[in-house]
Amino acid sequence: MSDLLRVYKGGVLVGVLDKGDSEPFYGFTYDEAYLKMSSAMPLSLSLPLSARRYTGHEAMPFFEGLLPEGDVREAVARQFHVSALRPMELIRVLGKDCAGDVVVLGEDDSCDLPEEAAYVPLLNALEEIARYPYGAISQLRAEYRLSLAGGQEKIALFHDDRAPLAEGWFAPLAGAPSSHIIKPQVTDRFPFLALNEFMCMEAARALGLDVPDAAIVPGEHPLFVVRRYDRESAEESGDGAPQMLRRVHQEDFCQAIGLTSGEKYETQKTHHAQDMAAILVGYAARPIEALGELFRRIALNYLIGNCDAHLKNYSLLLREGAAVSLAPVYDLVCTAIYDGRFGGGLSRSMGIRIGDHLNIDRVTPSDFLLLARDMRQPKRVAATILEELVGSMEAAFETAAIELAKVGAGDDAYAMAQRIVAGAAKRKDVMLKAVGLLS
């Protein structure tokens, strides 16, 4: 087996990964011909275009960030008989359909653009995933080498949009791009998790945020299905053929800053909000707008009680001409309702600190002054953002509940909306007092 891996972006060879002595991961070197292309852009903001070889320590954050995490990584490693502690082995196995438009292949593997034949139809796919989430996903992952970054159990498949959502599902082969991410309810410890995520996403849409299309597949075990924002239509397909997709280059803030997935959560010694702001100031096409939008997203996650909004849950789109922008929002869930009285108890420490506090229950109005400073927000602008979020939250969740009622989840949807809004009462009060300090 060769120790060399080739890295492609949009079907173009970008560079190679090679093993160095005593390095924790492959080193990375951009291809000489790629560097000469007028359209060349970096794989990551942490790996600027350069002719030098990036060491394994430098390359690891971006490439390791393409892999599953935690228990999911352990499960994937067992399936493919590799070590979960050796991400260089996992990237070799799972590099064909990563987030964004990066494809990692063995030295002798081709990177031909996929044709229609690169998709295998799956009968009763959603039904099987809903009824037997671990077993169905494990089988798909093993048979087709499908996986995703992150710590939650999920699977990426292709949907033919000419078919209804419950039908028309395909497993991508040979690196063909998937179109949707499917998240099942894998445990009863967190009741109505799929409804929770759909509701928070739809509430964010009602609040005017950029949110990918999402849906709930109803049933005894509902599924949350979301369209991938890092895929877009390529060209018109012929009659009788499903749409062709093109990958869109993206990375999360962990990768952009140069941190591994194990460093995605804030600590008292880190300053993630400042680091994210610095990235936007240095690279965003419209930094003032991007900074305001990121401030709004961090505030929204606090308001709805999403303590798991860490650095890997905020991402960037990188397009030709170095046009860097915030990716649509994703992974919005109210974790705060799972407090031990309703479902299992989840941590109250937030993924990104607000001012001086990590614990969501200890945030004070003055912490938002610090956050506004960290995010380089004028006080009046920050005040307006907070006031609009608080004033519109209840109506946004009512809108989301109405959407859920349309698919038959009415009683559960309204109960979930009431639980989330009621749990946010104290946080709304903190934000309104912050508005007074900022005004």
Q: Are 329 and 201 in contact (CB under 8 A)?
A: yes
Asked if the model's pLDDT at residue 146 lies above 70, the reply is: no
DSSP characters over 190-235:
STTHHHHHHHHHHHHHHTT-----EEEE-SSS-EEEEE-TTEEE-S
Q: Could you give the CA distance from residue 52 to residue 104 in angstroms, rounded to a whole number?
A: 20
Q: Find the mean pLDDT for residues 50-62.
A: 95
DSSP annotation of 360: G
Q: Span 216-227, mean pLDDT?
A: 88
Between residues 388 and 234, the one the model is more confident about: 388
The confidence score (pLDDT) of residue 282 equals: 93
Give residue-wise pLDDT tens across range 152-168. 678 889 999 889 998 99
CB atoms within 10 A of CB 341: 7
pLDDT at 90 over 90: no
222 falls in which pLDDT band (50, 70, 90)?
confident
Q: For 298-311, write each residue's pLDDT tens digit.
A: 999 999 999 999 99
DSSP state of 17: E
Highest mean pLDDT among 132-141, 354-363, 401-410: 354-363
* Cross-sheet strand order for the sheet of 102-106: 53-54, 27-30, 12-18, 4-9, 102-106
Q: Which residue has the higher pLDDT, 203 or 2?
A: 203
What was the pLDDT predicted at 101?
81
Q: What does the mean pLDDT of the chain come to?
A: 87
Confidence at residue 52, expressed as pLDDT on a 0 to 100 scale: 97
User: What whole-number distance in Å separates Cα of residue 5 and Cα of residue 3?
Assistant: 7
Of 43-52, 184-193, 259-268, which has the strongest mean pLDDT?
43-52
Whole-angstrom Cα distance, residue 74 to residue 79? Answer: 9
281, pLDDT greater than 50: yes
Question: Which pLDDT band, with edges at 50, 70 and 90, does 61 fall under?
Answer: very high
pLDDT at 151: 46
> What digits encode the pLDDT tens for the residues 393-438?
999 999 999 988 888 887 888 999 999 999 999 999 999 999 999 9
Share of the chain above pLDDT 90, in %: 55
Q: What is the pLDDT of residue 353?
A: 95
Looking at residue 309, what is its pLDDT?
94
Q: From edge to edge, which strands make up the β-sheet containing 315-319?
A: 250-252, 315-319, 323-326
- pLDDT-derived band at 209 (thresholds 50, 70, 90) equals very high
Report how far residue 150's alpha carbon sits from residue 71's, in angstroms, rounded to the nearest whole number: 10
Q: What is the pLDDT of residue 129?
A: 87
Interval 292-319 mean pLDDT = 96
pLDDT of residue 246: 83
Across the range 194-208, mean pLDDT stands at: 95
Q: How confident is the model at residue 144 (pLDDT cuts 50, 70, 90)?
A: very low
Q: All domains of the chain, ordered by start, with CATH?
A: 4-106 (no CATH), 116-247 (no CATH), 250-438 (1.10.1070)
Whether the CB-CB separation of 229 and 327 falls below 8 Å is answered with yes
Pair 422, 352: CB distance under 8 Å: no
Q: In the Cβ-directed half-sphere of 72, how many Cα atoms lie within 13 Å?
A: 20
